[in-house]
Structures are given as structure tokens and as C-alpha cells.
Structure 1
Amino acid sequence: MPAPLIWHITDLAAWEDAVPRGVYERATRGLPLAETGFIHATLPEQISVVAKRLYPDRPADLVILEIDVNRVEEAGVMVSFEEDAIGTSGEAYPHIHGPLPISAVLRLRRTKWIGREFVVVA
């Protein structure tokens, strides 16, 4: 059974665009779900590594969507855990295989960069 909470990093504008539509459909770093086939997510303890890898330019407008896996699956969208695509860490990362219902997002967390460190503020 997947972890009850997973996280997804996105920019604030993408989230604000999704809210009125009721679904979020960005895979990562601006790529559409239709192009990748799933939305990339992480476990909370993986967030710093993922942020550093995907956002080396350290944009200031990043937020974290805190997602309830049960709510995603209740909406008929599968969540799977798959090995790191690069294959070097041996870790499994969650993938959301369809549009993310806004109702499955429990909390929007603010972030900031302190030097090279990605920090969850709230």
C-alpha cells in the first residue's frame, strides 16, 4: 500500500491555474501530463534531493502540493512507486497516473532556497 501522503513540486502559477479547473495536469517542470503519462511525486524525505536535481536554477516561486494518496485513488487515478529513472539511487518514487484532483491536495506548502538548500517553510 502506498504512503498516505506524497509531495509534488510545482510553481505557484501552475497550481493557481489548476484550481479553477478542478484538476492539476503538470508532470514536472512545465511538462504536461499528456506528454509524460504521469505526474512525478516524492515522499517527503526525498523532496530536497528531487528539488536540487530538477531545479538547479533555484526558482523562487516553487510550492509543494501535499497529496493524499487515498483521495487520488478514490478518484480512479492510480498511484505507483517506480525506481529512480536515472537508476542510481535505488529509491522508488511515486507516480500519479492521471489528472490530480484538486480535492486530493491537502495543503500547499511554501518553500525557499537558502543558498543551495531547498527548505520547506510552511
Structure 2
Amino acid sequence: MKVRNTVIAGLGALFVFGLGAPAMADGDAAAGKKVFAKCRACHKLEAGKHGVGPSLHNIVGREVATADGFTKYSKAMKAFGEGKTWDEDLLNSFLEKPKGLVKGTKMAFPGLRKPEQRADVIAYLKSVE
């Protein structure tokens, strides 16, 4: 009986802390499009079209602070970006609290606190051609 309870407890822990947690790639692009409405004031998704912030077209896999034709990156973002590429994990960290990750960034948006919203936005960004 004791062994059975231990196994059940272990499986429960796996579910809660591992297998039950959605993977970043499992975001919902349709939901992310709605959340992205918060970003549209400053960011565009068309290649080469910038707003106050850089275009986010093909951001996943792009080197940080390198959007073609965007010249208004802060010194902090340029320094932070040296040798880094926007992948899902880095985007997730930045979207959670931009000024917490890149001290001195010009991005005024406070961030997306909910992990599901961040996963959804990243899924949406990846889905846009």
C-alpha cells in the first residue's frame, strides 16, 4: 500500500510540475492574435514596416535588435542583444517583463503576466507570414 501511494504521488507530481504544463510551442495563435492587439500600437507585422517599435515580422529566429531598417533601438537593447537570437524562451522572458530583462529598454509596455498569453502571442508571431 505504501509503495502504491508513493507511485501515485510521484505521478501526480509529474503531471503538476512537468507533463501537465503546456509547452511554449503549444500556444494558441488565434488567441495570440487577440492578445497582440496590445502590441499593435507600437509594432507592425509586415516586413520592413515599423511603428514606434521595430517590425516583429519573422522575429522568432532573428538576432536581437536587428530588424531591417529600424534604427531606434536603445543602447540597452543593442547591448543586451549582442550574440542573442529571439527564440521562444527569450521572447517569453522579455514579454513577461521587458524592463526587468532589458534595463533601459525604450519599450514602455509593462509585460504580459500570464504564461498562457505569452505562449499565445509567440504562437501568433510564428504563424504570421
TM-score (norm 2): 0.28
Q: Which has the larger radius of gyration?
A: 2
Using the size of structure 1 for normalisation, the TM-score is: 0.29
